[in-house]
Each structure stands twice: as C-alpha cells, then as structure tokens.
C-alpha cells in the first residue's frame, strides 16, 4: 500500500470536510427541531453528500480528460483553492467555498435543511468536490489508490455523521473555543497540503520539463 498517498488522502478528506466544524452548523440548521427530526436530517444530509462525492469520484476524471485539462494543471488549481479555504479556516472566516451570503438567506427559508445547506454546500461543496477530483486524478487510475481515496472520504463522512448526530453533546463537551482551535489546526494542515499540491503540479508540468 502507498502509505504516503494514503496519509495525504485521509488528511485532505478530513480537513476539507471538517467534521468538528459541522457541529455548530448542524445545531444552527436544526434549531427548534426535535431530536428525532434532527437525526433524520443528519442521516439524509450525509447520505446525499456521500452520493455526490461518489458520483464526482467516478465521473470526474473522464470529464476533465474530455475538457483537455491535464493533471498538473488541475493539481495546481486544486492546491490554490484549498489554500484559500485553509486561510479562511485559520482566521475563522466564513469561506465562500462552503456557503455564501445568498445561500444563508435561502437556507433560512428552507424547512428541511438536509440537502441544502447541510449536504450541499456544507459537506460536499466546491472545495470537497475539487478535493475528490484532485485525489482521483493523483491516483492515476490505480485501483489500490482509488480504493484509498474512497475509503478516506467514507471514513471522513462516518466521523462527520457521528459529530452531527452527537452535536448537542459535543458542543457542551468541546465548547465553541475547542471547535475553533481544532478548525484552526486543520487549517494549518490543509495549508501545508495545498502548498504541496501546487509544488507537485509545478514539478510535473511541461514548463519545467522542456
């Protein structure tokens, strides 16, 4: 097994989905709902997000190839996007890759927030989709690597589901400060991974091999 690739895949999947960061989002989106309703909303949200991630993982590579987008180009673009997201995480700012002001206003009028905004864009937003495509492309079609990518997101979604299900309890145990600290730590890791992706893309690009 490619341990280096596995470490990258799992670290990237967890940092971009940010299971701990979903705790306050879940509480805000399900405010006023009963415990049973909250559980149903969380189950549906994670299921929808998993479907989106699986779909993009399966068809993303053919789409990029049909558009003539090379792996180095997408690796660099993905790295830049992830770096911008990491900056928002480090400074506790709302990232547009997760949720925009317009989406927040629309979310307030939605009765069932499972699909929107929890599944999309909070769990499987543009940042997550770009990460899936990036890792799938880095797998180069190798079955073992592809299995690692899907396993990484499956585990990240499982942890996210557990965090969302136990949001009220975890909120009391960890507290807002604890959530912010963990999010910042994940932001630092994501920033380093993003820079590494850009460096890898540049090293593989035709510009440096002429």
Domain spans, the chain: 3-31+59-202
Which tokens is 31 given? 């405010």
Contacts of residue 176, defined as CB under 8 A and 6 or more positions apart, other chains included, come to: 24
ω into 54 cis (within 30 of 0): no
- DSSP, residue by residue, 89-108: HHTTPPPTTT--HHHHHHHH
Q: What is the pLDDT of residue 169?
A: 94
Name the E strands within the chain: none
State the Cα angle at 36 between 119 and 158, rounded to 5°: 45
Q: Which residues of 69-95 are buried (b: 16+ CB within 10 A; e: fewer)?
A: eebbebbbbbbbbbbebbebbbeeeeb
Task: Kindly state the greatest CA–CA separation across the chain.
Answer: 62
Amino acid 102: pLDDT: 63
- For the record, the structure tokens of 109 come out as 């009028």
pLDDT score at 164:
97
Q: How far is 78 from 161, CA to CA, in rounded Å?
A: 25
Return per-residue pLDDT of the chain as tens, 210 residues.
Answer: 589 999 999 999 999 999 999 999 899 889 888 999 999 999 999 999 999 999 999 998 888 888 888 888 888 988 898 898 889 888 877 665 555 666 555 555 556 789 988 998 889 988 899 899 999 988 988 999 999 999 999 999 999 999 999 999 999 999 988 998 998 999 999 999 999 999 988 888 766 655
């Amino acid at each position: 097994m490619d341990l280096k690739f596995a470490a990258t895949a799992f670290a990237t999947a967890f940092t971009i989905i940010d299971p701990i960061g979903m705790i306050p989002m879940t509480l805000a989106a399900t405010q006023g709902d009963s415990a049973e309703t909250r559980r149903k909303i969380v189950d549906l949200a994670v299921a929808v997000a998993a479907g989106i991630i699986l779909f993009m993982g399966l068809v993303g590579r053919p789409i990029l190839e049909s558009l003539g987008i090379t792996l180095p180009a997408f690796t660099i673009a993905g790295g830049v996007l992830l770096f911008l997201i990491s900056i928002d995480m480090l400074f506790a700012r709302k990232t547009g890759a997760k949720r925009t002001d317009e989406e927040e206003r629309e979310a307030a009028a939605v009765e069932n927030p499972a699909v929107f905004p929890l599944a999309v864009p909070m769990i499987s937003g543009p940042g997550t989709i770009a990460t899936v495509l990036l890792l799938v492309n880095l797998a180069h079609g190798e079955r073992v690597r592809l299995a690692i990518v899907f396993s990484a997101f499956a585990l990240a979604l499982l942890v996210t589901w557990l965090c969302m299900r136990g949001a009220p309890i975890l909120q009391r145990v960890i507290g807002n400060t604890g959530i912010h600290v963990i999010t910042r730590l994940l932001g630092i890791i994501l920033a380093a991974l993003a820079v590494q992706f850009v460096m890898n893309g540049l090293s593989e690009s035709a510009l440096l091999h002429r």
